[in-house]
Structure 1
Amino acid sequence: MASSTATLPSKMKAWTYSEYGKSSDVLKLDSDVVVPQLNDDQVLVKVVAAGINPVDFKRMLGMFKEFDSPLPIIPGFDVAGVVVKVGSQVKKFKEGDEVYGDIIEKAMDQPKQFGTIAEYTAVEEKLLAFKPKNLSFVEAAGLPLAIETAYGGLERCEFSAGKSILVLGGAGGVGTMIIQLAKHVYGASKIAATSSTGKLDLLKSLGADLPIDYTKENFEYLPEKFDVVYDTVGQCDKAVKAVKEGGRVVTIIGAVIPPAFIYIITSNGAVLEKLNPFLESGKVKPIIDPKGLFSFSQTREAFAYLETGRVTGKVVISIIP
């Protein structure tokens, strides 16, 4: 049984797709979606903002359909919003709490049918954390999947103080987080990162000691090798040439070439709680693309922009203006 003092609507607006394909072809705004029912361990979140990630449009294209949940699907993993109802076993959150998180525990194993690009979403308590007080809902919505992926990959390759790291795709959603975590959470001795020419200053501002312009330089042929290479762009074949003997290569996309391994996120609110002090102190900052904030009605445009592959940091949809 779930409890609530407020009277909640039975229907809501949400963006959905009923077949796989390009976002511009299949994504539709539906004003007659049933507000999700809660399980005992879930809270109902009134969505203020939702971050979108490449996994959203890849899923929409049908790349994961053999282990997807049934259609129709509401896309969206990342959420920031306000708790409006709690399940009977929920201990941590109450109505009115401002929360954020990646609502899909395992992206590659029957991901939730109903995501976050909707007025309400139901999510397990364990996947959420309190929103950092200094961040807006839009900023918080751009964090969960990216920062948890960055952190999880660094943990898996046993990154620690005094080690060096090369980040491939340093200006992307995950890359911007890896650089900041490597510097401020782990105490990296040296951080190198790749981007296109116009984004090198951003890499420096995030904490990269060696920004590399991939349009002009082949990082894999640098005389310097790194303890860890974190590949966010699918260049594993080059990444393995840039790592020291005995070092680690982690990738989140594409073919895996030994000794590299692939990291697939498992969402966990405890990770966000652990990182909240770094966010609240301002040491680690969300990076939203300068053109990356879209209104709920512009969800198709938001996906079109994300699909260009030119995004700096994150794209976020503001559900409540």
Structure 2
Amino acid sequence: MKAMIVNEFGDSSVFTSTEIAKPEIKPGHVLVRVAASSVNTVDMMIRQMGPDLPLSPPAPAVLGMDFAGIIEAVGEGVTDFALGDEVYGCAGGLADLQGTLAEYMLADAKLIANKPKNLSMREAAALPLVAITAYEGLKRAQVKEGQNVLVHGGSGGVGHIALQLARYFGANVFSTGGGDAQTALIEELGATSINYKTETVADYVQKHTQGAGFDVIFDSVGGANLLNSFEAAALNGQIATTVSLLELDLSGAHFKGLSLHVVFMLIPMLHDHKREVHGQILTEVAGIIEAGHLRPVLDDLTFSLEEVGKAHDRLASGQGLGKVVIDI
């Protein structure tokens, strides 16, 4: 089968088109004919850092985590899927798991779900990693109906899904963005936009919560921005973040009694730990999508399998709006 592999790690030029053996079916797995894959920040980190990132596969490797496709073979013990099923998931591209940038991939049946019927393959491929991340973060932060929820980075990959899921769970949702296109998308998706470049944290906390702070904050920006989340949170508030690889003064969190939830959705794939939870989340997300409460936003540009390097460059440029998707 055709695949894009990396023989060494580095810039976006390291991808090479080659022929490799099609995976053989094994128990508990399905063989998927991949139709589309999307690019996530972690894909770029693996490509750049290689062995410096503990979750990276050894070279030569097939990268790519998210996919949508059609099942072509079903392994022993798999009862929830059949030949011809259209599925989506996040099931490869790290450690010893072959990625999605190939015509076929082997996927653990616990990590996948039936594709939302009202989405194209490209749209479905944009969802798994970001949808699982957003869902897990909001659930761990115990989001409830009627709460004031702030999503940092609401026009980004994870953020635009978290924003919509928080609305679906019944919250009053507010979201930060940094420009006209970003704030317009946030409003279009049903949240109140906050331009972090023109409004201070104190200003928007006073404006939208009368100074009390937000009950739940989903911080998809993270890093040093966590200090803004601490400032914006209500007393005993909940904060979920996807980016916490830094040293940080937690004094602000201490004096407000905040709970901080670090979401690292790759744990089930890396450690074979509760993988079935990912399949369950994707099944629930598919239902939410089919009921009309959630939709992925895709970047305007399209890329073929051979153009994966350009797709990585597009995401890295920050010029796109929505998920970057590759047609396989």
Q: What RMSD, in angstroms, separates the aligned Cα atoms of the two structures?
A: 1.7
Q: Which residue of structure 2 lines up, in the alignment, with residue 39 of structure 1?
A: 26
Q: Judge conservation of contact 2:64–2:99 (CA < 8 Å) in 1.
A: yes
Match of 2:194 in 1: 212
Identify the residue that residue 307 of structure 1 maps to in structure 2. 316
Offset at 1:112?
Answer: 3.9
**What is the total number of aligned residue pairs between the two structures?**
298
Is the 8 Å Cα contact of residues 149 and 217 (structure 2) preserved in structure 1?
A: yes
Q: Give the match for residue 200 of structure 1.
A: 183
Unaligned runs of 5+ in 1: 1-11
Q: 1 CA distance for matches of 2:55 and 2:108?
A: 20
Q: What is the deviation of 1:207?
A: 1.2
- Which deviates the most, 275-284 or 92-101? 275-284
Task: For residue 294 of structure 2, give the secondary structure of its aligned residue in structure 1.
Answer: coil
Equivalent AA in structure 2 for residue 242 of structure 1: A
Alpha-carbon contact 1:70-1:113 (below 8 Å) kept: no
Kindly indicate whether residue 261 of structure 2 is the aligned counterpart of residue 261 of structure 1: yes
- Indicate yes or no: 2:232 matched with 1:248: no
The offset of 1:239, in angstroms, is 1.1
For residues 178-197 of structure 1, what are the structure 2 equivalents within 5 Å? Answer: 178-184=162-168, 186-188=169-171, 190-197=172-179
- Give the whole-Å Cα distance in 2 for the aligned partners of 1:215 and 1:231: 16
- How far does the alpha carbon of each residue in 1:162-191 deviate from its partner, in whole angstroms, 9 at most, with x for none? 11111111001101101110012x100x21
Task: Give the Å deviation of 1:70.
Answer: 2.0
Match of residue 11 from structure 2: 22
Q: In 2, distance between residues paired with 1:37 and 1:220? A: 57
Offset of residue 227 of structure 1:
0.5
User: Counterpart in 1 of 2:153?
Assistant: 169
**Residues 30-179 of structure 1 mapped to structure 2, 5 A cutoff:** 30=18, 32-62=19-49, 65-104=53-92, 111-179=95-163
Kindly, what percent of the aligned residue pairs are identical? 36
Hey, what does 2:326 align to over in structure 1? 317
State the SS of the aligned residue for 2:293.
coil
Scaled by the length of structure 2, the TM-score of the pair is 0.86
Match of 1:289 in 2: 299
- Listed one character per residue, the Cα deviations across residues 68-87 of structure 1 (whole Å, up to 9, x for unaligned) are 33222211110100000111
Alpha-carbon distance in 1 for matches of 2:234, 2:137? 18
Following superposition, the deviation at residue 220 of structure 1 comes to 5.2
Match of 2:219 in 1: 231
TM-score (norm 1): 0.88
Closer, same or farther in 2 for the Cα pair 1:156/1:310, shift >3 Å? farther
The aligned amino acid for 1:65 is L
Equivalent pair of 2:300/2:320 in contact (CA under 8 Å): no
Is the contact made by 1:221 and 1:242 (CA closer than 8 Å) also made in structure 2? no
